[in-house]
């Protein structure tokens, strides 16, 4: 299959099943996908860039068309460097749309060739976010079915003293 290289950027802190759902959907649309993990220290990530990359590589290894990398700086500069023409963004709910729409327009302003494709995850994941997963876990809730096993393992290691299974 020929077509544009697509980039799915994000912090993936931690990786959730909604991220994996978007990646799976993107593999059906694009011949090559780069999952680009942002190295933005201003976001104060819970997991290191290496941990997030390991989570993604372990869970996307079954897709020959997916490569996982880190990036920093402007996303449109990264797209140019990778000769990618499409950005993939997930929309879980209407509340995501305004922010994502503004980002897509800003990226287009910075680079007229940057196109954004919005993908909706399975409806069972529309409420799911990395922030919510961390909060539920830290308050003693189960994240089974919300994150892949490797992410649950990293969360257990990171939050062990705070977390008590109920």
Q: Annotated catalytic residue: which of 32, 52, 89, 92?
A: 92
3 state SS of 25: helix
130 is catalytic: yes
- What DSSP letter does each residue of 74-91 carry, written as one string? -HHHHHHHHT--EEEEE-
Q: How far apart are CA 89 and CA 127, in angstroms?
A: 16
Q: Which residue, 33, 114, 45, is CA-closest to 69? A: 33
Return all residues near 102 (Cβ < 8 A) that are at least 6 apart: none
Higher per-residue pLDDT: 35 or 91: 35
The pLDDT score that the predictor gives to residue 166 is: 47
The pLDDT score that the predictor gives to residue 35 is: 98
Calculate what percentage of the chain has a pLDDT beyond 90: 73
The pLDDT score that the predictor gives to residue 53 is: 97
Per residue in 8-54, pLDDT (tens digit) is 999 999 999 999 999 999 999 999 999 999 987 677 899 999 999 99
The pLDDT score that the predictor gives to residue 162 is: 55
Q: How far apart are CA 31 and CA 86, in angstroms?
A: 12
134 is catalytic: no
The pLDDT score that the predictor gives to residue 2 is: 54
pTM exceeding the 0.85 threshold for the entire prediction: yes
The pLDDT score that the predictor gives to residue 96 is: 78
160 is catalytic: no
112 is catalytic: no
End-to-end CA distance of the chain: 48
- What is the average pLDDT score of the chain? 90
User: How much is the average pLDDT of 98-112?
Assistant: 92
Q: Please state whether beta strands 86-90 and 5-10 pair in parallel, antiparallel, or not at all (unpaired).
A: parallel
The pLDDT score that the predictor gives to residue 3 is: 65
Q: Annotated catalytic residue: which of 11, 19, 52, 89?
A: 19
Q: Is 12 left (phi over 0), alpha (psi -120 to 50) or beta?
A: left
Domains and CATH numbers, the chain: 5-123 (3.40.50.620)
Kindly state the tokens that stand for 162: 């705070």
């Amino acid at each position: 299959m020929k077509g544009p290289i697509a980039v799915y950027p994000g912090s993936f802190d931690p990786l959730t099943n909604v991220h994996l759902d978007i990646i799976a959907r993107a593999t059906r649309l694009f011949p090559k996908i780069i999952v680009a993990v942002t190295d933005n220290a201003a976001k104060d990530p819970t997991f290191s860039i290496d941990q997030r990359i390991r989570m993604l590589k372990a869970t996307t290894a079954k897709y020959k068309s997916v490569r996982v990398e880190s990036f920093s700086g402007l996303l449109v500069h990264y797209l140019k460097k990778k000769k990618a023409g499409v950005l993939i963004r997930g929309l879980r709910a209407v509340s995501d749309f305004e922010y994502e729409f503004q980002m897509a327009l800003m990226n287009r302003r910075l680079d007229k060739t940057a196109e954004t494709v919005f993908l909706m995850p399975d409806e069972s994941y529309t409420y799911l976010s990395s922030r919510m997963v961390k909060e539920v876990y830290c308050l003693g809730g189960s994240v089974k079915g919300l994150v892949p096993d490797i992410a649950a393992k990293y969360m257990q290691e990171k939050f062990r003293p705070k977390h008590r299974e109920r």
